[in-house]
Structure 1
Amino acid sequence: MRTLAGMGLVTMVAVAHWTLGAFHPWLFVLSLLLSLTVSVMHHNHAHRPLWRMRALNAATDVWFTLFQGHPGYVFQTMHVDNHHRYHNGPDDVTRTDRFRAGNNLWGLLIHPIEFAIAARPHIAARVMASFRNDPRDFACIVAHYALLVGIDVLALVIDWKAALYVVLFPQLAAMFWLLASNYLQHAHARGDSEFDHSRNFLGLINPLFFNIGYHTAHHHSPDVHWSELPAVHASLVSRMSPALNEPSFAWYLIRVFLLSLVARRFRSQPTEPANLDSDS
């Protein structure tokens, strides 16, 4: 029900902004904030589909394609089969240190592009395999791309300015959050560790954004519903490095990506081994 409410709010903001016929700064800012909600809900839906009925899940997939700015078929290839298997370790195709080490503002901003570059051949292989072996799945992928491009182009034709601030920029923001979250959750964590491979964010981000902050718990139990992640986190927290449990997402962003530009003491440091992991 909370996911449905979130989807409804995102839709209402977009419709209201379009029908106003003019740029409204507060609605625009709200749509950018809600783009994080879109990415979180899409991620959760990919792991645990919202409905028991296939048709309703297919309809929900269409909604996410339009508001995420990309079809969700890539989750299985890049997220489940790759990221959840290797936890940002050396074999993870989209690991945060693939192109450069560190954890800073430039790394955060460029990571979505680097993620896309690393993922492109694997996504292309996934599409080609679907084309050869599963025509129905391939047709679904093509239909999602066609619908997405068609809606974006139609919006640009009707009102190109409104299309930018109502449709395209929120889609880009949703894609940024989807890809940049990999960097936020794993940069300077330990990809070789069983319990210190992820950074966790506590505080308001969790009630506001579907417990997305409990990332170690999510990796440990990826099929668990998002509402159960706090309990999983509590069962694991004693085995994690305290340095990877951030009390505030907002303060982390300010400290690591802004204050660090002017004060060395705020710069992120690689996580030191703190526990005797089973794999370390």
Structure 2
Amino acid sequence: MRIAALDGRPFCRREDICKILQALITPVAFFLPYFLPLSFAELSAYLLALVALNGSANYLLHLHVHHPFTTSPAFNLLLDLMLGAATGITASNWRIQHVYGHHCGRETKFRARDFDMSAAFSGRRALAFCWRSMWPTIVGPFREAYEQGLLKNIREPIDYRWAFVEQCLYLALIAALIAWRPWLTLGFVLPWHFAVFFFTRYVDFLNHCGCKESSGNPFVIANNTTHAVFNRRSGNLGFHTAHHLYPNAHWSELPTLHGVIEKNIPPRLVTSVNWSFLHFPLHVLCGVA
């Protein structure tokens, strides 16, 4: 299926069409209350719908920064900005703290300090990790973009000057929204964005708790879940060992890659539990293994 072409290549993969449409629709839906007067009942229904639609928006951005959805740099930048506005985590933040942080063994710079990830899951430890890690995840990429971009003008592996600008654009957007509709921004947008940071840290915790991340054995550094619903919403993030071994692989290829390497993964690191934070009470009661 060829939608359009750039230099003879398809504009996007067939599997990404729905992801692209969702990435374009999500910010529109997210900022809808700024333009429509909603009653309390309508706002409640809107929030439930938003959880269903926008709840996976950050997974979209994660997929996009690893393997851009299209071959158009301009269109990919548009997706970066739109998803960043809707989730509060800019694409530059993801690239600094995740792609060139976590996947390059630099995750401690953007996580809670001195946190033992090799210990088994517990609800208390999970919440402590999320709370303590969300702040360096927010501040760390901004500081690194400033130091590497403004002070040194480093452009590899990413343009850190643009990374600084992109994160400043997000702050400018929030300032403008506060000036326009302060209570809606302070009571809805910012809590949602902080919640996104918190929830992403929870999935990060499930991805690696009880694992030996510093091990030279790549098959013991991550947990995996085969839960169909979680993988459908997250873009197969549950096949996490395969994701670490092949970080540039397209999300649709991860189940196949997992099947190839599964025999090398210790059985204790493979589960069928849904890793969504909505299942946190079940994780505490029943465990995640």
CA separation of 1:117 and 1:146: change in aligned 2, threshold 3 A: closer
Aligned residue type for 2:82: W
- Correspondence for 1:111: 129
* Greater Cα shift, 109-118 or 200-209: 109-118
Deviation at 1:52, TM superposition (A): 1.7
Q: Indicate if the aligned counterparts of 1:6 and 1:37 stay in contact, CA closer than 8 A.
A: no
Per the alignment, residue 65 of structure 1 pairs with: 84
Find the partner of 1:145 among 160, 164, 167.
Answer: 167
TM-score normalised to the size of structure 1? 0.78
- Which residue among 72, 88, 94 is the counterpart of 1:53? 72
More displaced, 138-147 or 60-69?
138-147
2:282 counterpart of 1:255? yes
Deviates more, 1:35-44 or 1:152-161: 152-161
Q: Which amino acid aligns with 2:170?
A: L
2:256 to 216, 226, 231: 231
Instruction: Show structure 1 runs of 4+ deviating over 6 A.
Output: none
Question: Partners in 2 of 1:33 and 1:164 — Cα distance?
Answer: 22
1:179, CA displacement in angstroms? 2.6
Structure 2: gaps of 5 or more residues: 1-16
AA in 2 matched with 1:163? T
- Distance in 2 between the 1:95 and 1:143 partners? 23
Other-structure match for 1:175 = 197
Which has the higher relative contact order, 1 or 2, with Cα contacts under 8 A spaced 6 or more apart? 1
- Label 1:87 to 1:135 Cα distance change in 2 as closer, same or farther (>3 A): closer
Provide TM-score, normalisation by structure 2.
0.76
Distance 1:34 1:109, change over 3 A: farther
Contact 1:96/1:183, CA 8 A, preserved across alignment = no
Change in 2 beyond 3 A, CA 1:162/1:117:
closer
Q: How large is the Cα RMSD of the aligned pairs? A: 3.1
The equivalent residue for 1:274 is: none
User: Taking structure 1 as reference, are residues 141 and 96 closer, same or farther at Cα in structure 2, changes over 3 Å only?
Assistant: closer
Q: Distance in 1 between matches of 2:181 and 2:147?
A: 36
SS of the residue corresponding to residue 22 of structure 2 reads helix
Q: Which residue of 2 aligns with 1:263?
A: none
Task: Tell me how far apart the structure 2 counterparts of residues 206 and 61 of structure 1 sit (CA, whole Å).
Answer: 22
CA shift for structure 1 position 51: 2.3
TM-superposed deviation, 1:139:
4.7
Say if 2:263 is the partner of 1:244: no
Identity %: 19
Counterpart of 1:4 (choices 1, 6, 20) is 20
Once residues 271 and 250 of structure 2 are traced to their aligned partners in structure 1, the CA distance between those partners, rounded to angstroms, is 22
- The separation in 2 between residues aligned to 1:246 and 1:181, in whole angstroms, is 14
Given that residues 28 and 166 in structure 1 are in contact (C-alpha distance below 8 angstroms), is that contact kept between their aligned partners in structure 2?
no
Q: Secondary structure at the match of 2:35?
A: helix
Distance 2:128 2:287 in 1: 18
Secondary structure, aligned partner of 1:204:
helix
> Does the 8 Å CA contact 1:195/1:239 hold for their aligned counterparts?
yes
> Secondary structure at the residue paired with 1:253?
helix
Structure 2 CA distance, aligned partners of 1:37 and 1:150?
24
1:13 matched to 2:29? The reply is: yes
Which one of 114, 127, 148 corresponds to residue 146 of structure 2?
Answer: 127
Alpha-carbon spacing, 1:125–1:146, altered in 2? closer, same or farther (3 Å): closer
Partner of 2:56: 37
Q: Secondary structure at the match of 1:195?
A: helix
Q: Which residue identity lines up with residue 121 of structure 2 in the other structure?
A: N
Matches of 2:111 and 2:184, distance apart in 1: 36
Shift of 1:230: 0.8
Aligned AA (1:215) = H
Name the structure 2 match of 1:197: 221
- Tell me if the contact between 1:65 and 1:144 (Cα under 8 Å) persists in the aligned partners: no
Report the Cα distance in structure 1 between the residues aligned to 2:274 and 2:248, rounded to whole angstroms: 24
